[in-house]
Amino acid sequence: MTEEAFDHVTSLQIRLTELRNEHRDLDDAISRLQDSPQEDELLLRRLKKRKLALKDRISVIQRMLDPNELA
């Protein structure tokens, strides 16, 4: 593996970790919002949409890192 390829894989792995952390944080925020008595439906929909977009990006990066694994 060339140094450039190694750097690319490393940066993808770092980005994947960041996206997973953000996804987990959004999950926590959604849970707290759903438990609150003054639930904000618009904010809840936006958070869920953002979480879904993150899940899609995570899947793309996972396939890039391991194209033989079914994601």
Note the pLDDT tens digit of each residue in 10-66: 999 999 999 999 999 999 999 999 998 888 999 999 999 999 999 999 999 999 998
Predicted TM-score (pTM) above 0.85: no
**Residue 70, domain member (yes or no):** no
pLDDT of residue 70: 57
List Cβ neighbours of 54 (8 Å cut-off, separation of 6 or more).
19, 22, 23, 26
Structural domain contains residue 71: no
State how far the Cα of 42 lies from the Cα of 20, in Å rounded to an integer: 23
pLDDT at 17: 97
Domain that holds residue 31: 3-65
The average pLDDT across 2-17 equals: 93
Measuring CA to CA, how many Å separate 46 from each of 25, 27, 50? 14, 12, 6
Q: Which amino acid is at 57?
A: R
Structural domains of the chain, count:
1
